[in-house]
Chains A and B, each alone.
Chain A
Amino acid sequence: MMFLQSIKDFTNYDFLVYALLGTFFLSLTCGLISPLIISRRSAFMGSAISHSTLLGLAIALSFFSIEKSFLVFSITLFITLCCTLFLSYSTYRQKLPTDSLIGIFYTSTMALGILVHSISSHNKSDLLSFLFGNILLLSKEDLYLSTLIMIITFPVIIIPIKKWLFLTYDEEGAITSGINAKLYHYLFFVLLCFLIVTSIKLAGTILVETLLLVPGFFALKFSKNVKQTFVFSICFSCFFAILGIVVANAYGLPSGATLAVLLFTALVLSLLIRKVFYLLKK
């Protein structure tokens, strides 16, 4: 009953419509980029970018209130972009494993963010909302931003999809065929940075990774070819992200955590079902 009422709410309240549409657009974009993040082995890099948003947010919130969402977004994006470019530069075709550098970097930026937030006490904005996501924070501007990031990401990924796939599958082969690997390396992380900064209100700094990783992981486990991988990932992402928003609203739960748990449960259940089918077939 509560669940049906929650669905009705989405037709009655504007902010919920923004949340629903924003979630749909972001989940579409995350679903598209997710298989690439996993197959390019950039999951940890994504985590570093999402955690470094905290520094940007802390600085932005020390100057502006949370209501000035576009200004907060712009400052957060700028600072996160600087961090992302530094990380991209440091991790391009390095001989040494890059995970240690990424680990050091993201814990440091996150710590710096918390320090900045605690020092700038004149602003009482709740940074916790950004850590775990809150759909009540989504505004009309956020809807525009999520639409914009989708409009940018789709052509950048889809038009040269064979180049992305070639670079992901056989990097040396792609480079010696004339693809500018460095350009695509930076482009990928800049896109990821835009997407993460846009998603933090919905899923939160900490949980945005779930939205970026689970759909791709599901798709790569179940698909039989490249096309199927992207279709499965987008469908899985959209369906469970919208379900997550509806459930979070129905039971008054934090959206990011609800999304994360729902996506993870769906993934585990699907893997279990597949295992059962496999055993029965045997």
Chain B
Amino acid sequence: MTNQSKTILRAEDLSFSYNDESPTLKNISFSLNAGESLGVLGPNGGGKTTLMKIVAGLLRLKSGNLFINDINILDYKKYPYELFSYVPQNSDLNTTLPVKVYEYMQFTTSLFPEKMKNRSIDEILEIVGIHHKRNSLISKLSGGEKQRVLLARALINKPILMLLDEPTKGLDSNGQDQLLNLIENIKRIDQTSVMIVDHNINQIIRNCQKILCLNGSLHWHDHRDLLTKNILEDVYHCEFEHLLIHENDLFHETSINSQSDHHFCGHDHSTSPGSHHFVRGKK
């Protein structure tokens, strides 16, 4: 088995509920091979963030099995945090402390000295394009710059899997494209796998080989080529009009900028099924 096809993450019948409420996740199964990207799609409240937190080790699994490098998570003496990097949806950085970019990076490098033998903080900041801000206070950075700092922090431990929960949230379309391209570059340079949650369906389909569509107990997981409009409609409980997910040009870099000509409405899909439009611009 080549390193590329080795399964690094496998979930079998994962279930989770908060405080004995109705389950947020029910019998979810998926897998991810080394070097691949897994895009997680689904409506708000569908359990995407909960799933990310379970994999990141922030929430304890209630039932089911989670295998990391084919070893059951329960068989690890200590949760293998060092194998992952997690960039949360709303990184709640405490701006009370005047922390500079370089200082923030040092907090993490102090935990992984052996991983930093052949690489410096400056090199990592260079990769994410934020080196010129190394002595700036994080509280003074823009949303996009903060996301880059968080990505830089996530690179320090050279993870086998980066868990990115809506990394483009709050960024304009240009910023979203730049950040997603950066993630692709990082994936290539560090040969890491990525599990990413995002609401931009076209971007996810374009960048991820595997897709997990998730809405509580309802889920679908397979290669992106097998994803159909009906599956998305079932998961989102709504209809998409003019959704062209398998047009060849969708996957080409030269295609029309999907960010600017595809729109997904902001309705709460989990509660009000209805007709929604993916509008595609003219070529």
Contacts and interface: CB of A to CB of B under 8 A. Distances in A.
A220 interface: yes
B153 A173 contact: yes
A166 B99 CA distance: 10
Residue of A170, A224, A229 contacting most chain B CB atoms (<10 Å): A170
B95 to A, nearest CB: 9
B94 A225 contact: no
A166 B98 contact: no
Interface stretch (A103-111, A175-183, A267-275): A175-183
A220 B98 contact: yes
Given A165-B107, A224-B98, A225-B100, A177 B92 contact: no
Contacts of B108: 166, 173, 177
Given A166-B108, A169-B107, A176 B56 contact: yes
Contact of A172 (B82, B86, B157): B86
Given A166-B107, A166-B108, A169-B93, A176 B57 contact: yes
Interface residues of A, dominant DSSP: helix
B271 interface: no
Contacts of B104: 169-170
Interface size, A (range):
20 to 34
B107 A174 contact: yes
Nearest to A223: B98
A169 B56 contact: no
B97 A169 contact: yes
B193 interface: no
A180 B193 CA distance: 26
A162 B100 contact: no
A229 B97 CA distance: 8
A90 interface: no
Contacts of B112: 177
Interface in B37-66: 56-58
Interface string B52-95: 00001110000000000000000000000110111010011110
Interface string A216-227: 000010011110
A175 B107 contact: no
B88 A172 contact: yes
B82 A178 contact: yes
Given A176-B56, A226-B97, A170 B82 contact: no
B230 interface: no
Contacts of B100: 225-226
B76 to A, nearest CB: 12
A116 B104 CA distance: 49
A46 interface: no
Nearest to B18: A95
Contacts of B57: 175-176
A176 B86 contact: yes
B97 A39 contact: yes
Contacts of A125: none
B67 to A, nearest CB: 19
Interface in B80-131: 81-82, 84-86, 88, 91-94, 96-100, 103-104, 106-108, 110-112
Given A169-B97, A226-B99, 8 more contacts: A39-B97, A162-B106, A165-B99, A176-B85, A178-B111, A220-B96, A226-B98, A229-B98
26 contacts: A35-B97, A38-B96, A39-B94, A39-B96, A41-B96, A162-B106, A162-B111, A165-B97, A165-B99, A165-B107, A166-B108, A169-B93, A169-B94, A169-B104, A170-B91, A171-B92, A172-B88, A173-B91, A173-B150, A173-B153, A175-B81, A177-B108, A223-B98, A225-B103, A226-B98, A226-B103
